[in-house]
């Protein structure tokens, strides 16, 4: 990764984080003592087999859940002990999410789906329409603005989800297995689009994956196994 980026204050700091579910004999240790810093402009991949804790860590960074122990900060917000109202504000204004199943609203068009987060943010109608259209065009979806999700391919739906995350102008975009439901050619085109946004606009991405193609494009790889962070390294191939 670029030295100038490394020298910037971390955008995400994960310090001694563990996450358990259940009690006694039924306790599941999803994460154990994770320490990680993500700097502005990174394109970082959490990699490892199913059950390694990748999605759990993304959910904690995204303030969708709280750690059992340790602390997580995103920008100047300490996620691990912030109020519910503060976390809701953080998710709305600072973090964009791209889920495996897209989470698009079926009754809305592609343009309206992209506008939705900005509507919640209080962005005015003209501005949110302009920003939504720009995001869709940037991701190669010009001409698809008025189509509903059922009229789009899986790759197109995933691009709408990324456009929705991007249009809200977050500090950070979290993507859970972004290529899992796509064929290899569509998945490669999607990751190339995300990487272009990262390089040209400085958008910080953290995503979980077990896709070798995605790993090759990451600027840093964080390897996980059985809830442990086993390695974090810059990717010389990116």
Does a structural domain hold residue 35?
A: no
- What CATH number is attached to the domain comprising 192? 3.40.50.300
Beta strands 28-38 and 43-47, pairing class: unpaired
pLDDT in tens, 104-121: 999 999 999 999 999 999
74 or 194, higher pLDDT:
74
Q: Which residues pair with 90 in a beta bridge?
A: none
**Considering the entire predicted model, what is its pTM?**
0.86
pLDDT in tens, 159-203: 899 899 888 888 899 999 888 777 888 888 888 888 888 888 888
Helices (H), the chain: 3-7, 54-61, 84-93, 110-121, 125-138, 154-167, 184-201, 212-217
Does a structural domain hold residue 70?
A: no
Does a structural domain hold residue 126?
A: yes
Does a structural domain hold residue 108?
A: yes
Residue span of the structural domain in which 157 resides: 41-63+84-234
Does a structural domain hold residue 131?
A: yes
How many domains does the structure of the chain reveal? 1
Does a structural domain hold residue 206?
A: yes
Q: Which whole-number Å values give the CA distances from 216 to 107, 196, 212, 237, in the listed order?
A: 37, 15, 6, 6
Distance CA 175, CA 209 (A): 9
196 or 53, higher pLDDT:
53
Does a structural domain hold residue 6?
A: no
pLDDT in tens, 22-34: 877 788 889 999 9
Does a structural domain hold residue 196?
A: yes
């Amino acid at each position: 990764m670029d030295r100038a980026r490394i020298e910037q204050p971390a955008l995400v700091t994960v310090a001694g984080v563990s996450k358990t579910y259940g009690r006694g004999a039924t306790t599941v240790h999803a994460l154990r003592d994770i320490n990680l810093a993500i700097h502005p402009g990174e394109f970082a991949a959490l990699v490892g087999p199913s059950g390694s804790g990748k999605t759990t860590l993304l959910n904690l960074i995204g303030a969708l859940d709280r750690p059992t122990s340790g602390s997580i900060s995103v920008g100047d917000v300490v996620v691990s002990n912030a109020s519910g109202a503060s976390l809701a504000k953080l998710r709305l204004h600072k973090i964009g999410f791209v889920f495996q199943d897209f989470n698009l609203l079926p009754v809305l068009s592609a343009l309206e789906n992209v506008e939705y987060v900005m509507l919640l943010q209080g962005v005015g109608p003209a501005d949110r329409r302009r920003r939504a259209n720009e995001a869709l065009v940037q991701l190669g979806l010009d001409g698809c603005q008025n189509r509903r999700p059922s009229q789009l391919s899986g790759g197109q739906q995933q691009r709408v989800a990324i456009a929705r995350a991007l249009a809200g102008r977050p500090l950070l975009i979290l993507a859970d297995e972004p290529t899992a439901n796509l064929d290899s050619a569509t998945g490669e085109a999607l990751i190339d689009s995300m990487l272009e946004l990262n390089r040209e606009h400085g958008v910080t991405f953290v995503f979980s994956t077990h896709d070798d193609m995605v790993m090759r494009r990451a600027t840093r790889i964080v390897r996980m196994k059985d809830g442990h962070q086993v390695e974090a390294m810059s990717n010389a191939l990116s």
